[in-house]
Amino acid sequence: MSEREKKRVAVIGATGVVGQTIAQVLAERGFPVGEYVPVATGDRGERTVNGLGRTWTVCAIEEMDFGGVDICFFSAGAAVSREMIPKALDRGCRVVDNTTAYRMDADVPLVVPEINSSEVTPDTWLVSCPNCAAINLVMTLAPILREVSIERVVVTSLQSVSGAGKEAVAELDAQVRSDLSGEEAKARVFAKPIAFNCLPKIGELGDSGDTVEEQKIIEETRKILGKPSLGIVATAVRVPVRVGHALSVNVELSDELSLEDARGLWQESPGIEFDDRLPTPVDVAGRDTVIVGRLRRDVSRPHAISYWAVGDNLRKGAATNSVQIAELWCSL
Protein backbone atom coordinates (compact mmCIF):
# COMPACT_ATOMS: atom_id res chain seq x y z
CA MET A 1 0.00 0.00 0.00
CA SER A 2 1.55 3.34 -1.04
CA GLU A 3 1.61 6.38 1.26
CA ARG A 4 -0.93 8.00 -1.08
CA GLU A 5 -3.47 5.26 -0.39
CA LYS A 6 -2.95 5.38 3.36
CA LYS A 7 -5.59 7.21 5.35
CA ARG A 8 -5.39 9.87 8.00
CA VAL A 9 -7.65 8.36 10.69
CA ALA A 10 -9.03 10.12 13.77
CA VAL A 11 -10.84 8.58 16.74
CA ILE A 12 -12.93 10.93 18.89
CA GLY A 13 -13.05 9.23 22.31
CA ALA A 14 -9.72 7.49 21.77
CA THR A 15 -9.05 7.00 25.51
CA GLY A 16 -12.36 5.15 26.08
CA VAL A 17 -12.94 1.41 25.99
CA VAL A 18 -14.41 1.56 22.48
CA GLY A 19 -11.84 4.08 21.18
CA GLN A 20 -8.94 1.93 22.38
CA THR A 21 -10.51 -1.15 20.83
CA ILE A 22 -10.90 0.71 17.51
CA ALA A 23 -7.13 1.36 17.44
CA GLN A 24 -6.48 -2.29 18.27
CA VAL A 25 -8.84 -3.54 15.52
CA LEU A 26 -7.39 -1.10 12.94
CA ALA A 27 -3.95 -2.59 13.63
CA GLU A 28 -5.13 -6.22 13.68
CA ARG A 29 -6.99 -5.90 10.38
CA GLY A 30 -4.16 -4.05 8.67
CA PHE A 31 -6.32 -0.99 7.96
CA PRO A 32 -4.20 1.42 5.87
CA VAL A 33 -3.54 4.04 8.57
CA GLY A 34 -1.01 6.64 7.46
CA GLU A 35 -1.51 8.92 10.43
CA TYR A 36 -3.55 8.34 13.59
CA VAL A 37 -5.17 11.23 15.48
CA PRO A 38 -6.48 10.20 18.93
CA VAL A 39 -8.87 12.77 20.41
CA ALA A 40 -10.40 13.10 23.91
CA THR A 41 -11.36 15.79 26.42
CA GLY A 42 -8.79 18.50 26.84
CA ASP A 43 -9.13 19.07 30.56
CA ARG A 44 -6.81 16.31 31.84
CA GLY A 45 -3.45 17.79 30.79
CA GLU A 46 -1.14 16.24 28.22
CA ARG A 47 -1.80 12.52 27.72
CA THR A 48 -0.61 9.77 25.43
CA VAL A 49 -2.22 6.55 24.18
CA ASN A 50 -0.61 3.46 22.75
CA GLY A 51 -1.95 1.99 19.54
CA LEU A 52 -0.96 0.91 16.04
CA GLY A 53 2.53 0.04 17.25
CA ARG A 54 3.52 3.33 18.85
CA THR A 55 2.66 6.04 21.37
CA TRP A 56 0.54 9.03 20.27
CA THR A 57 -0.18 12.35 21.96
CA VAL A 58 -3.89 12.78 22.63
CA CYS A 59 -5.38 15.81 20.86
CA ALA A 60 -7.82 17.91 22.92
CA ILE A 61 -11.24 18.07 21.25
CA GLU A 62 -11.13 21.88 21.31
CA GLU A 63 -8.00 21.78 19.14
CA MET A 64 -9.26 19.22 16.66
CA ASP A 65 -8.97 20.23 13.01
CA PHE A 66 -10.77 17.84 10.68
CA GLY A 67 -8.97 19.20 7.60
CA GLY A 68 -7.03 16.40 5.92
CA VAL A 69 -8.68 13.65 8.02
CA ASP A 70 -9.98 10.93 5.68
CA ILE A 71 -11.99 8.86 8.17
CA CYS A 72 -13.14 9.79 11.66
CA PHE A 73 -14.64 7.37 14.19
CA PHE A 74 -16.85 9.11 16.76
CA SER A 75 -17.04 7.35 20.11
CA ALA A 76 -17.43 10.03 22.76
CA GLY A 77 -21.18 10.17 23.39
CA ALA A 78 -24.11 11.54 21.42
CA ALA A 79 -23.67 15.18 22.46
CA VAL A 80 -20.13 15.30 21.07
CA SER A 81 -21.30 13.62 17.86
CA ARG A 82 -24.17 16.07 17.36
CA GLU A 83 -21.86 19.03 17.82
CA MET A 84 -18.77 17.83 15.94
CA ILE A 85 -19.93 15.53 13.11
CA PRO A 86 -21.36 18.39 10.99
CA LYS A 87 -17.95 20.09 11.29
CA ALA A 88 -16.13 16.91 10.23
CA LEU A 89 -18.47 16.42 7.25
CA ASP A 90 -17.99 20.07 6.20
CA ARG A 91 -14.23 19.42 6.02
CA GLY A 92 -14.71 16.44 3.69
CA CYS A 93 -14.16 13.71 6.28
CA ARG A 94 -15.97 10.36 6.15
CA VAL A 95 -17.56 9.56 9.52
CA VAL A 96 -18.51 6.36 11.36
CA ASP A 97 -20.58 7.29 14.42
CA ASN A 98 -20.82 4.86 17.33
CA THR A 99 -23.30 6.92 19.30
CA THR A 100 -27.08 7.25 19.19
CA ALA A 101 -26.90 10.75 17.64
CA TYR A 102 -27.89 9.91 14.05
CA ARG A 103 -28.85 6.22 14.20
CA MET A 104 -32.55 6.71 13.59
CA ASP A 105 -32.20 9.52 11.01
CA ALA A 106 -33.90 8.31 7.84
CA ASP A 107 -31.05 9.52 5.62
CA VAL A 108 -28.23 8.00 7.70
CA PRO A 109 -27.53 4.30 7.05
CA LEU A 110 -27.36 2.08 10.14
CA VAL A 111 -25.02 -0.64 9.03
CA VAL A 112 -23.94 -4.13 9.99
CA PRO A 113 -21.75 -5.04 7.00
CA GLU A 114 -22.75 -8.73 6.97
CA ILE A 115 -26.38 -7.60 6.50
CA ASN A 116 -26.71 -4.27 4.69
CA SER A 117 -23.30 -3.27 3.32
CA SER A 118 -24.95 -2.10 0.08
CA GLU A 119 -26.17 0.99 1.96
CA VAL A 120 -22.57 2.28 1.99
CA THR A 121 -21.70 3.88 -1.35
CA PRO A 122 -19.01 6.33 -2.52
CA ASP A 123 -21.61 9.08 -1.88
CA THR A 124 -22.19 8.06 1.75
CA TRP A 125 -20.25 10.31 4.12
CA LEU A 126 -21.88 9.44 7.46
CA VAL A 127 -22.75 5.93 8.65
CA SER A 128 -24.06 5.02 12.09
CA CYS A 129 -22.84 1.92 13.88
CA PRO A 130 -25.76 0.29 15.75
CA ASN A 131 -26.19 -0.39 19.46
CA CYS A 132 -24.07 -3.34 20.65
CA ALA A 133 -27.00 -5.54 21.74
CA ALA A 134 -28.88 -4.74 18.50
CA ILE A 135 -25.86 -5.84 16.44
CA ASN A 136 -25.76 -9.23 18.22
CA LEU A 137 -29.49 -9.67 17.71
CA VAL A 138 -29.63 -8.78 14.00
CA MET A 139 -26.60 -10.97 13.29
CA THR A 140 -28.69 -13.93 14.53
CA LEU A 141 -32.03 -12.88 12.96
CA ALA A 142 -30.84 -11.96 9.45
CA PRO A 143 -29.85 -15.54 8.45
CA ILE A 144 -33.25 -16.86 9.63
CA LEU A 145 -35.05 -14.13 7.68
CA ARG A 146 -33.44 -15.35 4.45
CA GLU A 147 -35.48 -18.56 4.84
CA VAL A 148 -38.75 -17.63 6.65
CA SER A 149 -40.60 -14.55 7.88
CA ILE A 150 -40.40 -13.60 11.52
CA GLU A 151 -43.69 -12.89 13.30
CA ARG A 152 -42.41 -11.83 16.72
CA VAL A 153 -39.16 -11.61 18.71
CA VAL A 154 -38.89 -11.64 22.51
CA VAL A 155 -35.35 -10.82 23.63
CA THR A 156 -33.66 -10.34 26.98
CA SER A 157 -30.15 -8.88 26.78
CA LEU A 158 -27.70 -9.45 29.62
CA GLN A 159 -25.20 -6.64 29.18
CA SER A 160 -21.67 -6.34 30.56
CA VAL A 161 -20.44 -3.27 32.43
CA SER A 162 -17.98 -2.27 29.67
CA GLY A 163 -21.08 -1.35 27.67
CA ALA A 164 -21.29 1.67 30.02
CA GLY A 165 -17.65 2.71 29.52
CA LYS A 166 -14.31 2.63 31.33
CA GLU A 167 -15.60 4.07 34.61
CA ALA A 168 -18.25 1.36 34.82
CA VAL A 169 -15.58 -1.36 34.47
CA ALA A 170 -13.58 0.32 37.26
CA GLU A 171 -16.74 0.49 39.41
CA LEU A 172 -17.41 -3.25 39.08
CA ASP A 173 -13.80 -4.06 40.00
CA ALA A 174 -13.86 -1.68 43.00
CA GLN A 175 -17.21 -3.01 44.23
CA VAL A 176 -16.07 -6.63 44.01
CA ARG A 177 -13.01 -5.76 46.12
CA SER A 178 -15.11 -3.77 48.65
CA ASP A 179 -17.72 -6.49 48.92
CA LEU A 180 -15.15 -9.24 49.46
CA SER A 181 -13.46 -7.22 52.20
CA GLY A 182 -16.77 -6.59 53.95
CA GLU A 183 -16.95 -2.88 53.05
CA GLU A 184 -19.89 -1.01 51.56
CA ALA A 185 -19.87 -1.19 47.73
CA LYS A 186 -20.39 2.44 46.63
CA ALA A 187 -22.39 2.97 43.40
CA ARG A 188 -21.60 5.99 41.21
CA VAL A 189 -22.00 4.99 37.57
CA PHE A 190 -24.89 2.61 38.22
CA ALA A 191 -28.00 3.29 40.31
CA LYS A 192 -27.26 0.38 42.65
CA PRO A 193 -24.27 -1.91 43.30
CA ILE A 194 -23.54 -4.05 40.24
CA ALA A 195 -21.11 -6.47 41.94
CA PHE A 196 -22.87 -9.77 42.72
CA ASN A 197 -26.09 -8.20 41.43
CA CYS A 198 -28.03 -7.47 38.24
CA LEU A 199 -29.88 -4.28 37.36
CA PRO A 200 -32.99 -4.53 35.17
CA LYS A 201 -32.81 -0.95 33.85
CA ILE A 202 -30.27 0.39 31.32
CA GLY A 203 -30.81 4.06 30.49
CA GLU A 204 -33.77 6.21 31.39
CA LEU A 205 -37.38 5.01 31.28
CA GLY A 206 -39.46 6.25 28.35
CA ASP A 207 -43.21 6.91 28.28
CA SER A 208 -43.92 3.34 27.16
CA GLY A 209 -42.20 1.90 30.24
CA ASP A 210 -39.35 0.60 28.08
CA THR A 211 -35.89 1.96 28.84
CA VAL A 212 -33.89 3.89 26.27
CA GLU A 213 -31.69 0.81 25.76
CA GLU A 214 -34.74 -1.39 25.11
CA GLN A 215 -36.09 1.16 22.61
CA LYS A 216 -32.74 1.16 20.80
CA ILE A 217 -32.75 -2.64 20.50
CA ILE A 218 -36.31 -2.58 19.11
CA GLU A 219 -36.06 0.37 16.73
CA GLU A 220 -32.54 -0.30 15.43
CA THR A 221 -33.33 -3.98 14.79
CA ARG A 222 -36.33 -2.93 12.67
CA LYS A 223 -34.27 -0.36 10.75
CA ILE A 224 -31.29 -2.65 10.00
CA LEU A 225 -33.51 -5.53 8.90
CA GLY A 226 -35.77 -3.20 6.87
CA LYS A 227 -38.82 -4.47 8.83
CA PRO A 228 -40.43 -1.35 10.34
CA SER A 229 -43.38 -3.26 11.81
CA LEU A 230 -41.50 -6.29 13.17
CA GLY A 231 -43.11 -7.38 16.47
CA ILE A 232 -40.35 -7.20 19.06
CA VAL A 233 -40.19 -6.85 22.83
CA ALA A 234 -36.90 -6.33 24.67
CA THR A 235 -35.69 -6.36 28.27
CA ALA A 236 -32.15 -5.08 28.92
CA VAL A 237 -30.37 -6.08 32.13
CA ARG A 238 -26.92 -4.97 33.35
CA VAL A 239 -24.95 -7.92 34.73
CA PRO A 240 -21.63 -8.09 36.60
CA VAL A 241 -19.59 -9.24 33.60
CA ARG A 242 -16.63 -7.18 32.34
CA VAL A 243 -16.92 -7.75 28.57
CA GLY A 244 -19.47 -9.55 26.39
CA HIS A 245 -23.22 -9.21 26.05
CA ALA A 246 -25.56 -12.23 26.03
CA LEU A 247 -29.03 -12.54 24.54
CA SER A 248 -31.84 -14.93 25.38
CA VAL A 249 -34.04 -14.93 22.27
CA ASN A 250 -37.45 -16.40 21.45
CA VAL A 251 -38.61 -16.12 17.83
CA GLU A 252 -42.01 -16.95 16.36
CA LEU A 253 -41.69 -17.79 12.68
CA SER A 254 -44.28 -17.74 9.88
CA ASP A 255 -43.46 -21.33 8.84
CA GLU A 256 -41.73 -24.40 10.11
CA LEU A 257 -37.92 -24.20 10.33
CA SER A 258 -36.19 -27.30 11.63
CA LEU A 259 -33.52 -26.86 14.28
CA GLU A 260 -31.07 -28.45 11.88
CA ASP A 261 -31.92 -25.87 9.19
CA ALA A 262 -31.62 -23.00 11.68
CA ARG A 263 -28.18 -24.29 12.72
CA GLY A 264 -27.19 -24.58 9.06
CA LEU A 265 -28.30 -21.01 8.29
CA TRP A 266 -26.09 -19.66 11.07
CA GLN A 267 -23.16 -21.90 10.22
CA GLU A 268 -23.06 -20.69 6.63
CA SER A 269 -23.36 -16.99 7.60
CA PRO A 270 -20.19 -14.89 7.95
CA GLY A 271 -19.54 -13.60 11.47
CA ILE A 272 -21.62 -16.28 13.24
CA GLU A 273 -20.69 -19.55 14.88
CA PHE A 274 -22.96 -22.21 16.29
CA ASP A 275 -21.65 -23.87 19.43
CA ASP A 276 -23.73 -26.16 21.61
CA ARG A 277 -21.07 -26.29 24.35
CA LEU A 278 -22.54 -23.43 26.41
CA PRO A 279 -21.03 -20.27 24.90
CA THR A 280 -20.63 -17.49 27.47
CA PRO A 281 -19.58 -13.81 27.42
CA VAL A 282 -16.15 -14.82 28.74
CA ASP A 283 -15.72 -17.21 25.78
CA VAL A 284 -16.54 -14.52 23.21
CA ALA A 285 -14.58 -11.62 24.79
CA GLY A 286 -11.76 -10.62 22.44
CA ARG A 287 -13.38 -12.32 19.45
CA ASP A 288 -15.29 -10.91 16.48
CA THR A 289 -17.93 -13.59 15.94
CA VAL A 290 -21.37 -13.82 17.47
CA ILE A 291 -21.78 -17.31 18.95
CA VAL A 292 -25.21 -18.96 19.06
CA GLY A 293 -26.10 -21.93 21.26
CA ARG A 294 -28.83 -23.48 23.45
CA LEU A 295 -31.07 -23.83 20.38
CA ARG A 296 -34.39 -25.52 21.13
CA ARG A 297 -37.98 -25.65 20.00
CA ASP A 298 -40.56 -23.57 21.90
CA VAL A 299 -43.49 -25.98 22.01
CA SER A 300 -45.81 -23.36 23.54
CA ARG A 301 -46.23 -21.61 20.14
CA PRO A 302 -46.40 -22.87 16.54
CA HIS A 303 -43.12 -22.50 14.58
CA ALA A 304 -41.26 -20.97 17.53
CA ILE A 305 -37.63 -21.45 18.56
CA SER A 306 -35.52 -20.23 21.45
CA TYR A 307 -31.76 -19.71 21.56
CA TRP A 308 -28.91 -17.93 23.32
CA ALA A 309 -26.27 -15.73 21.67
CA VAL A 310 -23.12 -13.99 22.91
CA GLY A 311 -20.96 -11.27 21.34
CA ASP A 312 -18.13 -8.97 22.40
CA ASN A 313 -19.79 -5.56 22.83
CA LEU A 314 -16.50 -3.69 22.36
CA ARG A 315 -15.49 -5.56 19.18
CA LYS A 316 -18.38 -6.73 16.92
CA GLY A 317 -20.73 -4.59 19.06
CA ALA A 318 -18.74 -1.42 18.32
CA ALA A 319 -15.09 -1.28 17.14
CA THR A 320 -14.94 -4.17 14.68
CA ASN A 321 -18.28 -3.27 13.12
CA SER A 322 -17.09 0.36 12.76
CA VAL A 323 -13.79 -0.64 11.14
CA GLN A 324 -15.65 -3.02 8.79
CA ILE A 325 -17.78 -0.03 7.71
CA ALA A 326 -14.64 2.03 7.02
CA GLU A 327 -13.21 -0.90 5.04
CA LEU A 328 -16.28 -0.75 2.79
CA TRP A 329 -15.27 2.78 1.74
CA CYS A 330 -11.73 1.62 1.02
CA SER A 331 -13.07 -1.18 -1.20
CA LEU A 332 -15.43 0.99 -3.32
Which residues of the chain form contacts with ligand NAP (CB under 6 A)? 13-19, 40-41, 44, 61, 75-77, 80, 98-99, 132, 162-163, 165-167, 313-314, 317-318
Nearer to ligand NAP, 224 or 257 (CB): 224
Concatenate the DSSP letters of all residues of 138-197 into one string. Answer: HHHHHHHHTTS-EEEEEEEEEE-GGGG-HHHHHHHHHHHHHHHTT-----SSSSS--TT-
Select 75 or 211, whichever has its Cβ closest to ligand NAP.
75
Selected catalytic residue, list 93, 198, 245, 303: 245
CB of 101 to ligand NAP, least distance (A): 8
Backbone angles phi, psi at 94, to 5 degrees: -80, 140
The residue number with the shortest CB distance to ligand NAP is 16
Work out the angle at residue 288's Cα, subtended by the Cα atoms of residues 287 and 289, and round it to the nearest 5 degrees: 100
DSSP code per residue over 23-70? HHHHHHTT--EEEEEEEE-STT-S-EEEETTEEEEPEEGGG---TT-S
The reply to whether 72 belongs to the active site is no
Q: How far is the CB of 85 from ligand NAP (least distance, A)?
A: 12
Residue 141: CB minimum distance to ligand NAP, A: 19
Residue 135 CB, nearest distance to ligand NAP (Å)?
8
Nearest residue (CB) to ligand NAP, 41 versus 248: 41
**Catalytic position from the list 132, 198, 303, 330:** 132
Of the two residues 136 and 175, which places its CB atom closer to ligand NAP in the complex? 136
7-12, strands of its sheet edge to edge: 59-60, 33-40, 7-12, 71-74, 94-97, 126-128
Catalytic residues: 132, 245
